[in-house]
Structure formats: C-alpha cells, structure tokens
Structure 1
C-alpha cells in the first residue's frame, strides 16, 4: 500500500512539474490551448470591429460548406476581429477572390460568391458609411455561394508535334484525366506535369508543352483538355563535370554519381545520384546542372556542383540519469581523410559517474574508419577498434574488440552489413571470473522511413540481425539474433500528437546461460529499455545476482503531445520480460515502468526529461528514475 501511495504521489508530482515548466516556457501566456481546446484563460480580446460569419451555400450536398470554412480568411481571422470597417471590407474582398479560386479548384467554374455586411452588398458597404455609423458595433457577415454545376471531363487528347522512335503513354486516363470524372484544375496541372516528366524519363530532356487548350463549356458543364508535346531531341549522357570540390577528388565524385556517359538520359538517375552523393559526409550540398542543349553527338553534359563540409570536426555529448549516473562522450572526426571521402572517428566516453564511486565507472574508447565505394558505389568498407570496461551491477568486463566488414545500400530506405569481429574479454559475474576469446560473423538489415531520426513523427524503422559466434577459448558456440520494429502514427496534419510504439525480440541459442559471456547475454532496464529501473538490472537471478538471460520480449508506447512550438509532454509505458531460455516461456517476471516526460524542442533535436516509476516489485529498486538526454527515447 505504501509503495502504491508513493507511486501515485510521484506521478502527480511529475505531472505538476511538467505542467509548470510548460507554463514557464510560454512567455506572457494569458491562456493555454491544446489542439484548439482552451484549457484556461480568457478568449482573445477583439481590438476593433467584432464580427460574425454565416455561410449559405445553395443546395449544398457535397460538403462545400466545410471546404469554404477551411479556406475563408474571414473565418480564420474572426477571433481577433478587424481594425475597422474599411479593413473588414478589404478582408471580405480578398476572401471573395480566394473562395472563387477555391471553388474553381473543385471544378465549380460557374460558381458565384457574394458577400454582405449587415445586409449590404460588399461593394456598397463603404458608400453606405456615414458619420453616424458606429465603428465599434459588431458586424454580421454573410457569405452566399451559388456553386453551379460540378464540371466534368469531356473530350481530351494528348498529342506530340513529331513522331518519335519511343514515347510514353499518350492516353490522358493514364495520367488521371478520366472522362466523366470531376474536372479539377489541380488534377489537370498534375497530369500535364507528369506527362512532361514521362517524356524526360523516356530520354527526351527538353520535352515541353507546345500547346495547351483547356476549355470549360458552360452549356454542357464539361471541360475539354487538349495538350500537344514537343519532345525535342533524344539524348544520352555526355561528359560528367564536377565543380566545387577542393579537398574531395572530383573523379571520386563523378564515379560515385553513377552517371555513365552513353546511357540514355533519365531524370531518375540524377535524383539517385544526388541522394547518393549527399550520403558522403564530406559533401554539404549537391546541385545538378543539365546541359543547355543536346550536342551533335546526341549527348547532354551533366555538371555536379558540390559544396564541401569542413573536413575535421569535434564535439561531445552528455546524458544524466538518477539511476545510472552521468555519461560524458567526446569525439573527433575527419570526413575526407585521404581525399576520396574516407571517414575516421575517434571517441571516448565515461559513464555511470556518481553511482558506485571509481569502481562503478564504465569507460570506452575506440575508432571507426570507413571507405566509401569499395566494391561498387553502394558498398562501403568499415573497420572498428575498441577498448572498454563495463561495470553494471550484474558483471564487470574488460574487453578489446576489432571488427571489419562491408555495408551496402540496397535503396534509400534499406541498408545491410556483414562483418567479421573478434573480442577478447575478462569477465567477473555470478558464474565466476573467466576469459573469453569470441569470433563472430554479425549481419544485419535496417529498414528506415522515419521523417526525422532525432524526433520522428511518421514512418517506420525495423532492424533484423543475426550473429553466429564461437568462443575459441572455451570451445562453445552460439547464435544471437534480434528483431526490432518501431512505428510512428501522427493524429493530425501538423503532427502535434504522435503515437510511437516499439517492439523487440532478442534470443541467444546454442549454449547454456553460463557458457555465454555476460556481455552477450540479454538484460533489460535503463533509459533505452524499461525506464524506472537501473541499466542492465533486469533478468534471471543466480545466487542473488542478476545474470542476464537468453531471450527477451519488450515493448514501449509513447504519446508525444506538442503543447507549444517549443514544449511537449510525453506519457509513456515500457514493458519487458527476460528468460533464461532461448525463447521466452512467460514464467519469468514481467517488468513494467511508466511515467511522463517533458520535451524542449531545439534545432538539434528535442531535449528529453523523463520521470519514470518502476511498477513491478524488485529487491533494491529505487522509487523513481529521472533521465535527461538529447533526442526522443526511440
């Protein structure tokens, strides 16, 4: 009962703290609204002419009233009123033109929009004003709409000025123009743009519209569309020029672009080249310039204008947790070590500062080197070396680690890698003090469509890995595997409310728990796992000490609410179970942590402050944990 009362009190305290910080982070706040709902505070004060707006759409059976309400400036600015009646008239005139354009975009080419203010036609309002007119009196605005018929597509034709050996489809229906369907100008414009782009994709870089005739027939309420394309000359890629590269090899940039002289022109190739070049850390930006004309040899030159980043960089990060202590990381890197985009990063970190004195410190240092385009343009070579000491409560490890492998980009969203690695370690844990010499062959695939890695508000992220390992010092072998998926669901167009979820499964098969090094066993707990518990403190127990397990099932759920442009609130829950079997039996304890977080959004990413409560009983657990870091939890 006492623990429950403590948890409830801490939850209320954390919520109060977050709300207080929200209010403090809202300068001169007179009211707070969440998603348009006023929580407290007065309505905005109208300084000038207050007015009401009524919309009257004749025979509205297609939802035009809602569309007009979303478009109208009069409605959008109604809460603050107008400075005076002349300003209200000017706003109404702009609204009339805006609404007429919006109705045409819906295929209502015969629509009539009229606006009255206090029963007087808009164009007569100013003339009706007298010295006795009360400028401060509220005004009644009425928007009357005669939508007329919804125009439909009639006869349509796509033609070309000259015959060509190859041509894209010239049927308007392929581009979304279907006879009898609503004739909306945005659909027509998109179809014409797509037609021109299809001609360019067919190898005609200078294809353009030679003639277009779009006619609305008011007698039949139909729209006729006639478009004629001038293809121009077909082209292949000519010479590839690179400008703007000073430290980076121009030849390497040209090779990495994958544009081969003599291949048919296709703008999709240029898009892929830009994406590929921007993945080089030494390149800041890429501008692609197509030649002005097709040469006598039928080729078009391509120029890549690149802007380089500074080759050297350094920095540091810090993270804080009341359970796991403070961690500091410092790093130095080079983005173009030998002139062909090679990358080198050296880093060092100290963690668990403030937990168990000097004996509890964790530290690691190492270097990562990568050379792009080692086998082909999408395959990189990487090498890693690391020395580290880990000292969670469950074990103490001193280790040296080397890794050599290849990574490959299959497409912009999918990457994979395979490597060979070796680790020499000395570990003291619940099973004693032993040495391990482990050779591994790790392989992984990563699929990532997130819109922002530091603060994702949409997309999907998935990871799958398998690592066969052999402990040559103790004649043991095992296979570690991991599958993790995270998804982000926005509830509104502005993405002020996002539901984020993550599920994970891990397994180690082929050896007993004691034969697997503690560094390869599976634990839960900590800021990236189940918040509210110490780092790597959850798992099977042997002789009163956590040993880690051979499998894990875990899930996390967050509701990310952006209350103001700078402040967000995130209630969350984490859950995990760790088993000493290679597949969870669900007979082991299930650990749950929950809490609330505060986010302060910066250009680098959100600063995260999470307050978490452990909801599952565990010996020696703390009442709560506080975590501070940069970026969302996942």
Structure 2
C-alpha cells in the first residue's frame, strides 16, 4: 500500500486544529503539542510515528473531526455564560459589593461576546481580556498589589480565576496646591481624609466637586482641576496632590445676543440673567444658556467667549436660532358615553415679541362643548411669578341637566424649590341652566384657588419614574347671594415605578371634600355645578359618566387607580387597570360601599406621546357591560 502523503496528513491535523484548538499531534519528525480536543496517541493508543500507519491515523482523524466541530460551539457557548459564585476565588476578605461589581463587569463583557459586539475567537483571548478587566477594577478599588491566576476548567470551556487582592492601599498624605488668588475655603476638601481607602471613583468624584466649587466661588476663565497619585507599594499607601492649571480671574465686559428676529433682543438678553461687570462663573453661563432654551423660543443656542483683554474682561456672545412661534394642534378621541370627540389648539409662543404665550383651544363631543383662551406672561425677573390670564365657556351636563359655565380668572405661579411649585389664583365663575322656559338657576362665584405641587416625574405624558403630589384649598364665595359660601380641600398623589425595562407600575389616589365657611354646609342648597361626581373615563372606567351614586352629586370623594403597564415592543404595549371610587353626601366616605371598575388597554407609542385605547367594565359584575375610551397620553 502506498503510504499516505505526509502533507495530506498535516492538512487533516491542521483542519482539526483550527476547529478546536489546541490538538495533540505527534507526526514523524515533529514534537508533541498537548491540547483539549483529542489526544490521539494517548486516548486511542495510536502511534503515528510510522509512515505505514499514517493512513490509519488519518482515518481516525476523519472520523473524529465532526465531533471536534460539534464540541466547539458548545465550548464557546459555555465560556460565554454568566458568572457564578465559583467564577472568582478570592483568597482574602473583600466586601461583597466589590465582588459583585467585579462579577458584573465580567457578565457585561460576556454578554457583549454573546451579542457579537465584542469578539474573542479563542479562549485565551477571552481569558486575557477578562484578566485585564479584573485588574482595572481591582486597582480602582485600591488593590494595587493584586495577583490574578487563571484557573480554566474542562479545556477552557469554563474560565475561572483565583484572585489574591493583597492589602488595600490607603491615603497617606493629601496636598492641596491651589492658586494664591483663590481665597475661598473649599468644603469638598473635607471629604478626603488620611487613612481612608484609595478608591478611584471617590477621587474622581472629589475632582469634579472641587471643580464645580471653584467655578461657583471664583471668577477663573478656565477651571481644570487635576491630581497626581504617587504609590508606595511597600507601605500599601498613596500620596495625593490636587492642583489647578494656571488661569486668570476675569469679569464679564458685555453680553451679546445674535440671531434674534421676532423676539426682542432686550428680552432675550434679560433671559440670560447676566450683567456687565459681574464675576465670570461657568455655572451661571450654563444657566443662561439653559434659560434661553427653556423659554421655548429658540431651537438652537451657541455660546462664544472671547479671550481676556488687558483689563481681564471677556465678552459673552449667544448665537440663537428662533423656533417657529405658531403651532396648530388637532386631536380626537372616543368615549362610550361622550361619543367621538375632537379638539384643536392654536398656540403663539411669542405673542408680543417678549415670550408671551397665547393659547386658543376648543373641545367638542356629545356631552360637552367648550372654547377657551389663555395668555401667559413669563417672569420678567427670576424672583417674580409667572402670570396667566384665562377665560373659558363650556356647555356640559350636571345631574343630567344641560348647564353652561363661564370662567374668568388669573393665576400666579411661583417656583418654590427645584421640584415644588406654588399657585395662587382669582376666578369669577358663572353658571346657569337652560330649560324650555329659558335660563334658570343663575349663579355666580368668586374663588381663590391655592395649590402646592411637587413633581418629580421623568415624563409628563408617559412617566416611568417619580411622583406628583398636590395639596390645595379653594374658598368659594357666592356673589348672587342664593348659595352658601363653601371651601374645597383637595389632595392627590401619583407614583410610578419602573420594575424592568419594559414594565411599569403606576398608582394614583385623590381625595376631595366640601366644607361650609362659617356655617355647616347644606348640600341640598348647593348648586349641582359645585358638587362632586364620579364615574366615567376621568374617575372609574367602566361606569357611566357621573353614574356612581349619588348621581346628583356628593360632598366627599375618594378616587384610587392602579395600572400595570407592559411595553412589549418599541411601539406597542398593554395595560391592566383597576379603578375604585367612594362618593358620599356626608363628611366621611362610606368605606364599606366602594364602586370599582377594571379592564385592559392597548398602547401605541408615537414619538411624542402614547395613543391610549381602554375597555372597562364595572365590578363585581365584570363583563356585564363594556365601555371604550380612546385618547392621547396615559390615563394618569
């Protein structure tokens, strides 16, 4: 028999070797290379040193190559799996949060390998990358004398590591090397003490806090805070020196606004809240640029700052691009009780060229028709409130009576803190009912609504985190003299929890009660337009509009709702909800007599707000009747 060509045998070895590295080869004239896929000379007792037995060895390789190829993806898939408790063998006591952080870093890398955003074709490449990741995290936690030993198992199908972190380095000395003209004591310096662990995250955080504090307390043109770290590995300690790159303290020579057209230049300049001669401070300039954006008048704001002149002054220029100031919005919806409805809104965001916002709106459905106008005058100074003057005429139903409402009023809105806003208003409200005999039950009221609102929601139309709290009191005085004076107390709360990236739990509760001002309130003497109602899309879905007893209106009302929101694709989501109401003619609600409704909903997420379709039914006779609701935005 003709001997099998040695070049062909080597090709077969090379093919198997590329499929599952490494492979044992002991061909004539070659040294052995140990590996994990197969050991031809030991496992199968085949001696491949003789040329006469080359054919038989080649046959074995041909039979075993499919097994190598079959095992390779399984091996790769195993080494890409998430870490377990045995992945890291820590030889010293280390805080659990640090170990979990190291494991999470490996999990993130292996997830990228599974998804293809990172590539590691060979186990040794993955092992090297993971050891680098672990070393970076050990150093960041203060373990600079660490030792990492790889402990692969099952032929590199499982990657394990033995870690000796060594002693944790601590801060031995801190030097604050600031410019001589920095006269302010920095509070952030107190957060770094000698003897505490040398943690990179804390040092970087301190560096940023020092930079922000210097920017807010001094007038430097540029504030670049740096640090130097010197390690003494024998002492397991480090010396830190914080310093600032040389810079000059400057003042503002002038503030220039370029690019204004319909917006008055003087008003745009006032929005910046910057004045010539003031100290140059980076946070104030950032706030000025943000004020221009938040005015809703400009689509783009670019900043340019000149170099200091001989008087150490700079000129600040904002180049702006105005937005379209007029917007027309059209919308629609459907309600089983109200039927199809349409609404339109025309907005002018720069009515008299100084940021005044004029809104004209109308809403029409089978139950109500309304038209309104509101003019909002922005703050002329930061400490001044925002003023809104409004009027609205509405034709609607109260206790199955066709009623007209005409409201005229003004409201002052003032920011109290970052999240708290206060409102104080003055309204004159007229109401009358029409019958075949003409206008009857004409009433007129003077109201002074006052509310405090705290809002931390991440989005107004589709919130996933945060909450909104409202507390308010409104005294109402009868101007016609035929109605009792009364006050309304109202409190509400809405909360949102993002359970996962696609699931959100939302809940709301609201309570309102009416009370007499001076005398005990007689509900029968109070107009039906002033009483409280429940039932329908705004309170308990599944119930008829104002269909919860007492249907002629109550004195105390409590509303609660819970929604489980699931977004199962980029555009689509579903909702399950339960709404509950207590409506009573007395001071306290009858907690033993709730009215509830439940149902499901479908959401389609557009680029600006979700479209909502809900179907609900009353409880406990769920399914006895159904009501549908279609609108824009979440229910709450």
Q: TM-score range by the shorter chain?
A: 0.7 to 0.9
Shift of 1:565: 4.1
Tell me the residue number matched to 1:626.
628
- For 2:307 and 2:362, the matched residues in 1 are separated by 54
Shift of 1:79: 5.4
CA deviations 1:561-605 (Å, max 9, x no partner) are 344444434333222212223x32427832122233333333212
Q: How does 1:83-94 map to 2 (within 5 A)?
A: 86=121, 88-94=123-129
User: Of 128, 133, 138, which aligns to 1:103?
Assistant: 138
Pick 1 or 2: higher relative contact order, CA cutoff 8 A, min separation 6.
1
User: Of 576, 579, 590, which aligns to 1:571?
Assistant: 576
Larger strand fraction of residues: 1
Tell me the residue number matched to 1:342.
356
Tell me the residue number matched to 2:159.
141
Contact in 2 for aligned 1:69/1:75 (Cα 8 Å): no
SS at match of 2:160: strand
- For 1:65 and 1:109, the matched residues in 2 are separated by 16
Contact in 1 for aligned 2:226/2:242 (Cα 8 Å): yes
Using a 3 Å threshold, how does the CA distance of structure 1 residues 167 and 463 change in structure 2: closer, same or farther?
Answer: same
Contact in 1 for aligned 2:112/2:118 (Cα 8 Å): no
CA deviations 1:112-159 (Å, max 9, x no partner) are 4454666779xxxxxxxxxxxxxxxxx333344333332222211212
- For 2:74 and 2:350, the matched residues in 1 are separated by 59
1:467 pairs with 2:467: no
Which deviates more from structure 2 when the two are superposed, residues 81-90 or residues 317-326? 81-90
User: Of 483, 487, 495, which aligns to 2:495?
Assistant: 487
Aligned residues: CA RMSD? 3.3
Shift of 1:535: 2.8
Using a 3 Å threshold, how does the CA distance of structure 1 residues 79 and 257 change in structure 2: closer, same or farther?
Answer: closer
CA deviations 1:431-486 (Å, max 9, x no partner) are x9511122222232222111111111222212223222223224432222322122
Tell me the residue number matched to 1:560.
565
User: Of 228, 240, 246, which aligns to 2:243?
Assistant: 228
Q: How does 1:469-618 map to 2 (within 5 A)?
A: 469-476=476-483, 477-492=485-500, 494=501, 496-510=502-516, 511-540=521-550, 546-581=551-586, 583-586=587-590, 589-615=593-619
Shift of 1:339: 1.0
Contact in 1 for aligned 2:188/2:206 (Cα 8 Å): no
- For 1:311 and 1:90, the matched residues in 2 are separated by 57
1:351 pairs with 2:359: no
1:151 pairs with 2:186: no
- For 2:488 and 2:291, the matched residues in 1 are separated by 32
Contact in 1 for aligned 2:221/2:280 (Cα 8 Å): no
SS at match of 1:333: strand
Shift of 1:387: 1.8
Which deviates more from structure 2 when the two are superposed, residues 550-559 or residues 406-415? 406-415
SS at match of 1:397: strand
Contact in 1 for aligned 2:512/2:557 (Cα 8 Å): yes
Q: How does 1:260-409 map to 2 (within 5 A)?
A: 260-289=275-304, 291-352=305-366, 361-373=367-379, 378-391=384-397, 394-409=400-415
Shift of 1:557: 2.2
Shift of 1:89: 4.5
Gaps of 5+ in 1: 1-44, 122-138, 353-360, 541-545
1:69 pairs with 2:73: no
TM-score by length of 1: 0.78
SS at match of 1:150: coil
How many residues were matched structurally? Answer: 549
Gaps of 5+ in 2: 1-71
Tell me the residue number matched to 1:355.
none
Contact in 2 for aligned 1:103/1:109 (Cα 8 Å): yes
- For 1:622 and 1:391, the matched residues in 2 are separated by 25
1:417 pairs with 2:435: no
Using a 3 Å threshold, how does the CA distance of structure 1 residues 412 and 231 change in structure 2: closer, same or farther?
Answer: farther
- For 1:406 and 1:84, the matched residues in 2 are separated by 60
Shift of 1:252: 0.3
Larger of the two Rg values belongs to structure: 2
CA deviations 1:471-529 (Å, max 9, x no partner) are 3224432222322122223345x4x4333222212122224323333332211222231
TM-score by length of 2: 0.78
Contact in 1 for aligned 2:300/2:321 (Cα 8 Å): yes
Which deviates more from structure 2 when the two are superposed, residues 271-280 or residues 603-612? 271-280
Using a 3 Å threshold, how does the CA distance of structure 1 residues 588 and 93 change in structure 2: closer, same or farther?
Answer: closer
SS at match of 2:159: strand
